[in-house]
Chains A and B, each alone.
Chain A
């Protein structure tokens, strides 16, 4: 059953800049989908249109059968609690501790008063500690986030999204600022979230190799259009070329080698 349906989605920033043009996609529950494409192709815009951090110009998005674009302010808040988001630059409150940042994921469920003063119940705290353990951040629970490494910060970002108990995770270049080692840890966690917890993941990526290794399905975007939508096994060097254009050669992607690893 499709969790997310995107129909004729178009986003114009102004008369000259078209970020997305007539995008149609269907994402099924539990899928791990990567979105690849050159910088400026519209990957980030696509992700942000889904939770309306950016308002689409036309077209519509159905999330679990609900039309996202017509939601009122409160309904939108409600929808966003079901969609976790993680960012390239982690977007944590650096001066707060790991546990406080993770609990921020519960704010969407709270009334204004509880949210302002950060009042969380026992159950929420327990589930925060459980998530911290899964992500291997037990030693860092009370550390301030500005003392963490990039990989640890991104794990806090994942924790903050997980505690929302989301059905969909939007990941905007989650490993673009990380070294290969930390990247692997983060991608493994995301893959786990999808396989073990059944949470659908939509991940913007820069690295074609990573997309090939982790995804159930890959979507290629080039200059605001979807140019490829299929399984990693269907990916060929010609398709990579059609997604990345002349940049493809510089990327030096070894399509044939992926089955060996």
Chain B
């Protein structure tokens, strides 16, 4: 009996992996992808990167030009997130099952948030380019819109998860709507909400680099400038500082999370 189970499992595995192999081979043939060339070119690319894509002394001289741009990107990520968070709170309160005022308002606010969230940030940036051109405003609004959509959703789930029971108790004791929000919902949900805000700041720094290439602002602009002018050493320095900042921000936000929860 047991032997049968093992035999069956072997047979299932064999079928699964044969199918996977078949699909892989079929797609290689259809796309005319040369596997050998693919892997060898990765090697060539690595060699090229080692030879050209590193910050040298001349690139380091560009650092005073890069750092203000980096600062602009970081500050923009933070301020777009905090503003988005402030605007998200009322929408989340209307959208949450626990604190909704009525179903219509709840559906409307969830729908608005869903639209802002599901349009990708690059699409927002491209749409906003028409209105604001290549300016910091375009990038700022693109970050703000996606952060807003995301945070409304995150806040709604946090509120539903953390405060359903205490809200019931306070309502039963005669507390008013606003009292319940400030005495039960916000104290219960605050640590997780702050945690989501920190996470959004992290992702925004990453996205801001990309959006900056489109809008010609911030650190993304520096990268494009050096890359297009074939100053690969300076471009690599830009990549390096972005990576360092992303790690640093993640480290700081992990620390803050540990303290508040």
Contact = CB atoms under 8 A, between A and B. Distances in A.
Interface of A: 51, 53, 77-81, 83-85, 87, 89-96, 104-105, 107-110, 112, 115-118, 157, 160-161, 164, 170
A115 B172 CA distance: 15
Contacts of A90: 165
B175 interface: yes
B170 A107 contact: yes
Contacts of B174: 77-81, 107-109, 164
Nearest to A79: B174
B169 to A, nearest CB: 4
A110 B175 CA distance: 8
Contacts of B203: none
A131 B157 CA distance: 35
A104 B165 contact: no
Contacts of A110: 179
B183 A160 contact: no
11 contacts: A51-B172, A81-B174, A91-B168, A95-B190, A107-B174, A107-B176, A108-B174, A110-B179, A115-B176, A116-B179, A164-B173
Contact of B179 (A51, A96, A112, A160): A112
Contact of A116 (B168, B171, B182): B182
Contacts of B182: 115-118
Contact of B187 (A51, A83, A96, A108): A96
Nearest to A48: B172
Contact of B170 (A104, A117, A170): A104
B234 to A, nearest CB: 49
A73 B22 CA distance: 67
B195 interface: no
A92 B188 CA distance: 10
B176 A118 contact: no
B188 A104 contact: no
Interface in B138-187: 163, 165-166, 168-176, 178-180, 182-184, 187
Nearest to A74: B176
